[in-house]
Amino acid sequence: MTSMHLPADAPARRARPQVTVSIEAFFVRHRHRLPWVHAAMFAAFVLLLLVPPLTPLPGEQDGALDSYRLFANTVLWGVWFPLVLLSAIVTGRSWCGLLCPMGAASEWANAHGLKWAIPAWVKWPGTPIVSFVVVTIWAQTIGARDHVESSAILFGGVMALAIAVGFAFGRAKRAWCRHMCPIGLLLGVYARLGAVDFRPKRPAPGGDRWTEATACPTMIDLKRKTESRHCIECFRCVNPRAGGGLALALRRPGAEIEQIGRRNAGLAEVLFLFLGAGIALGGFLWLVLDSYQDFRLWAATTAIRNGFLWIGESGPSWLMAVFPAEREVFRWVDFLTITAYMAGVMLLTASALSATTALAAFLSGRLGGHGTFRRRFVELGYQAAPVAMVSLLLGLGGELFGTLALVGLSPDAIRALKVLLFAGGVVWSLHLGRRILAAQGVPGLRAWPPLSAGSFGAVLLGAAWYRAILFT
Ligand code: SF4
Ligand code: SF4
């Protein structure tokens, strides 16, 4: 029997497959080389983000192989971003621990910094959600996916913030990576779907806890670890020869969410799943729907009629796209309406998903489901994870499909791939919902009413995405 069948809190050493032992041994043996990997990634960061704005604009007919600007943009948004997102399903937050130059720079700054106590506003569970929403909207208003200058501002700004937070707060830790990073939140929540886990060899009861008295850079109380969200897979807690610490375990993707009742489920994460799917949808819909153009026109006319003439002027280039040479200049009316439209779609989506999940939690309770309504709601909220991930891939990682077209995939094949991805997400969400309901004490046919209510949310999301799936 493989370790994936072990209960969440079982010692990881029992019956570990050879492949797991070998992977663990490899990373422990080469752990000391990680600073070199981070330095190489920092150089790649400079080459892909800071050098392109210094190169000439591409010609009208240029492709990714003719212009360094276009090449860097394709690598960043068409390869790196979608692949990092997808990697969470396979290897959890391996990007964070093994490759990310931002987290490494933040930790380096921390070692030389002020080491102030981490303030409550940083530790607030809503902080990374706000950070994700702000960065996602900001990326749209500055046109980060179309302009290399904007990508440099976006990632350079986030890198500067990561270093500043690392310099100011915590002791030999990554306060930024645990509490504030928008990418870390994204990868962390989806790492729960992933096939990689680090489990205590001698688990202590009591559930997950945050502590600074630990060797873990993301402040996990190692013996009490049950969730994958904050583990950046740095291997620092792993020593194959020691009886304590953590050990690598491979598991069936989705296994952690199936047992979410015992894996430190959190309302903030569920809200992030709903809001994240909504903001990705908003980021796509404002570009394609006439309703956004109508809203923009209405906002501009109303503002001008009331004397707010500045709404027609353009603002600073760190806040909105101002590229006259490329014939794209956003004005305050664009900045304000894009922000409002995306926020509106996000809130509508989150409300719809909350309503269907609340109905599922209510029905689960009526059919004998354990626990309070809030607990059932939070647990059932995680069934949206696969479908929310596909939403993020279509909305924020959509350039991947452009890259697939560049390497020769036909439009029909790309459309089929999108349909397959969304259908796969819905089926996986249904499967997770069924397992979560069974764990709540609502197995078999009795689970159908709450399962149908929960899956209605996925159907609504699919209906909202149909244009992206079928027509782009
Ligand atoms: S949390 Fe953010 S900054 Fe930290 S390692 Fe992950 S992606 Fe990089
Ligand atoms: S739990 Fe271990 S592998 Fe995971 S982040 Fe903490 S020290 Fe690194």
Report pLDDT digits (tens) over 251-305. Answer: 999 999 999 999 999 999 999 999 999 999 999 999 989 999 999 999 999 999 9
pTM of this prediction exceeds 0.75: yes
Distance CA 196, CA 43 (A): 28
Tokens of 91: 């290897």
88, pLDDT greater than 60: yes
Q: What is the DSSP string of 151-203?
A: HHHHHHHHHHHHHHHHHHB-SSS-HIIIII-HHHHHHHHHHTTSSEEEEESS-
Position 9 scores a pLDDT of 42
CA distance to 236, 242, 252, 319, per residue, from 25 (Å): 12, 13, 21, 47
**Which of 233, 239, 248 maximizes ligand 2 atoms within 8 Å of its Cβ, making it the mutation to test the pocket?**
233
Rounded mean pLDDT of 222-233?
Answer: 97
Ligand nearest to the CA of 135: 1
Asked whether 180 lines ligand 2 (CB < 6 A), one says: no
pLDDT digits 0-9 by tens, 14-58: 678 999 999 999 999 999 999 999 999 999 999 999 999 999 999
Q: Which helix (H) or strand (E) holds 116?
A: none
Q: For residue 11, what pLDDT band results from cuts at 50, 70 and 90? A: very low
Distance CA 382, CA 457 (A): 12
Task: Determine the distance separating the centroid of ligand 2 and the alpha carbon of 35, expressed in angstroms.
Answer: 16
Asked whether 181 lines ligand 1 (CB < 6 A), one says: yes
Minimum CA distance residue for ligand 2 atom 1? 231
2, pLDDT greater than 80: no
Distance CA 242, CA 126 (A): 37
Asked whether 311 lines ligand 1 (CB < 6 A), one says: no
Q: Which residues of 44-60 are buried (b: 16+ CB within 10 A; e: fewer)?
A: ebeebbeebeeeeebee
Asked whether 234 lines ligand 2 (CB < 6 A), one says: yes
Residue with tokens 């080491």, as numbered in its chain = 115
Residues 6+ apart with CB under 8 A from 392: 85, 186, 276, 277, 280
CA distance to 36, 78, 343, per residue, from 321 (Å): 36, 20, 19
Task: Determine the distance separating the centroid of ligand 1 and the alpha carbon of 189, expressed in angstroms.
Answer: 13
Minimum CA distance residue for ligand 1 atom 3? 103
Asked whether 162 lines ligand 1 (CB < 6 A), one says: yes
DSSP 75: I
Q: Which helix (H) or strand (E) holds 37?
A: helix 34-45
**Which of 234, 235, 248, 264 maximizes ligand 2 atoms within 8 Å of its Cβ, making it the mutation to test the pocket?**
234
Asked whether 137 lines ligand 1 (CB < 6 A), one says: no
Ligand nearest to the CA of 174: 1
Ligand nearest to the CA of 93: 1
Asked whether 220 lines ligand 2 (CB < 6 A), one says: yes
Residue with tokens 């009629």, as numbered in its chain = 305
DSSP 65: T
Asked whether 246 lines ligand 2 (CB < 6 A), one says: yes
Task: Determine the distance separating the centroid of ligand 1 and the alpha carbon of 232, expressed in angstroms.
Answer: 8
Q: Which residues pair with 328 in a beta bridge?
A: 323
Ligand nearest to the CA of 201: 2
How many helices (DSSP H) and strands (DSSP E) are in the chain?
A: 20, 4
Distance CA 209, CA 220 (A): 7
Residue with tokens 């979560």, as numbered in its chain = 436
Q: Which of these, 48, 78, 60, lies nearest to 402 by C-alpha position?
A: 78
Which residues in 285-410 belong to E strands, given as ranges?
A: 322-323, 328-329
Q: Which of these, 5, 425, 57, lies nearest to 251 by C-alpha position?
A: 5
Ligand nearest to the CA of 85: 1
Asked whether 185 lines ligand 1 (CB < 6 A), one says: no
Asked whether 345 lines ligand 2 (CB < 6 A), one says: no
CA 444, distance to chain mean position in Å, is 32
Provide the 3-class DSSP secondary structure of residue 277.
helix
- Contact in structure between 442 and 366 (CB atoms under 8 Å): no
Burial class (CB in 10 A: 0-12, 13-18, 19+), 1: exposed
Q: What is the mean pLDDT of the chain?
A: 93
